[in-house]
Structure 1
Amino acid sequence: MIHLEPAIDNDADALWKLQVAAFSPLLEKYQDYDTNPANETIDRVYTRIHHPASCFLKIIADGQLVGAICIRWKEDVHFRISPLFLAPDAQGKGFAKKAMLLAEVRYPQAETWELSSLLEETKTCQLYEKMGYVETGARKPLNAKATMIHYQKQYYDLGVKEYVAFPSIPT
C-alpha cells in the first residue's frame, strides 16, 4: 500500500539521493547530460519543495520512502507531473501508477494533466498510455540516443469525468 506525503526540507537529502539513483541508469544509457534529473543538484530539490505553484510529494510504500512525484499547476486546472521517480528496487511494482492516480485524485479540479518521457523507454510510455495519456506529437531530440516526447490527458465534465485526448500537435 502506498500513500503520498508533502516533502519538507528534512527530506531533501534522501529525495535527492533517490532521484540520482533512479535516473542514473538512464543517464548512462542515453547520455542526456543537460536534461537528466540525475545531474540536478540538491538545490533543485529544495526549489521543488518550496515552489509556490507546485507540490513535491514523497511516495511512501509500507512505511518506507520509495520515491517522489512533483506536481505543478497553472490556473489551478492545468497540471504537470515532473519529475516522478522511484528507487531502483521499487520500480516495476506498480508504485508509479498508484502515485499518479493518487495525484490525480488529489486535484479533482484538473482539466488537463501533462508529462514527458523518453521515447526510447517504451515500458514507461506504455504505462502512461494505459493511464489515458496521449502523445501530443511534440518531440524534442535530446541527442542521437534520446528523444523527449510529451503526453497529455484532458478531462471534460458531463456529470462524470471522462478522458479525452487533445489533438496531436504537428512536429
Structure 2
Amino acid sequence: MPDIYLQLASTDDIQLLQDSALKAFSDDYDKYGAFPPNIESIEWFKAEVSKNKFYKVVCDSEFAGAICVEGGETTCIEIKYLYIDLKFQNKHIGSKVMRLIESEYEHIDNWTLFTPYMSFRNHHFYEKLGYIKVGELQPDLSDDFKLFEYSKVRTR
C-alpha cells in the first residue's frame, strides 16, 4: 500500500490546487456545461486555504489530489470538494483520504456532502463509505441539473 497522508495546503499551493481541480472536474464541465462552484476563482482558493481546512493528498511524496472541508468547530462537517488526480485513481486512495479526514476530525459525528446527480461513480463511492442519500437540490429551477445530498452519522 502506498504511503498516503494529508497535508494542510498553504498559499504556495493555491495554483496547484486550482489547476488540479480544473483538470479533475473537466468531466463535470463536459457533462453539465459548467465546473462546480468556485473552482474557476483563484480568490476562492485563497480564501479556503486561509481557513486551514484545505488539504493536499500526498501519495508516496507526490501530490495526488485534495480535500476541502467546511465546519468542524461544533458537530458537523461538509466535504466541499474531494478530488484525486487521474494518475492515482482506482488505487483506493479516495477511501483512505476519507478515513484520514474523518480521523482528523474525530470529534465530528455528522458529515455531509453534495455530488452531481449523474456522477454514478461518486454515488457508489460515498455509499460504500457509509454515506446515505438524504436529499436532492436543484440550484437553478430553469436547469435540469441537480445535486444529491449525502450524509453520514458516525455512532460511538
TM-score by length of 2: 0.88
Question: What is the percentage of aligned positions where both structures have the same residue?
Answer: 27
Secondary structure of 1:80's counterpart equals: strand
2:45 is matched with which residue?
45
2:36 is matched with which residue?
36
Structure 1, residues 70-126: CA drift from partner, whole Å, max 9, x if none?
A: 111154221111111122222222211111110001111112000111121111101
TM-score by length of 1: 0.81
Q: Does 1:148 align with 2:150?
A: no
2:78 is matched with which residue?
80
Please give the root-mean-square deviation of Cα atoms over the aligned residues, in Å. Answer: 1.8
1:126 is matched with which residue?
124
Structure 1, residues 111-161: CA drift from partner, whole Å, max 9, x if none?
A: 2000111121111101101111001123326533x32100001123xxxx2
Measured after TM superposition, the shift of residue 37 of structure 1 is 4.7
2:24 is matched with which residue?
22
Q: 1:6 aligns with which of 1, 8, 27?
A: 8
Q: Does the CA-based 8 Å contact 2:67-2:82 persist in structure 1?
A: yes
Q: Which amino acid aligns with 1:148?
A: L
Q: 1:99 aligns with which of 97, 100, 112?
A: 97
Secondary structure of 2:130's counterpart equals: coil
1:71 is matched with which residue?
69
Q: Does the CA-based 8 Å contact 2:18-2:39 persist in structure 1?
A: no
Q: Give, in whole Å, the separation in 2 of the partners of 1:7 and 1:75.
A: 19
Q: Which has the higher strand share?
A: 1
1:115 is matched with which residue?
113
Structure 1: gaps of 5 or more residues: 162-171
Q: Does 1:90 align with 2:88?
A: yes
Q: Which amino acid aligns with 1:8?
A: S
Q: Which amino acid aligns with 1:28?
A: D
2:58 is matched with which residue?
60
Structure 2: gaps of 5 or more residues: none
Pair 1:95–1:38, CA change in 2 (3 A)? farther
1:169 is matched with which residue?
none
Q: Does the CA-based 8 Å contact 2:38-2:44 persist in structure 1?
A: no
Pair 1:5–1:39, CA change in 2 (3 A)? closer
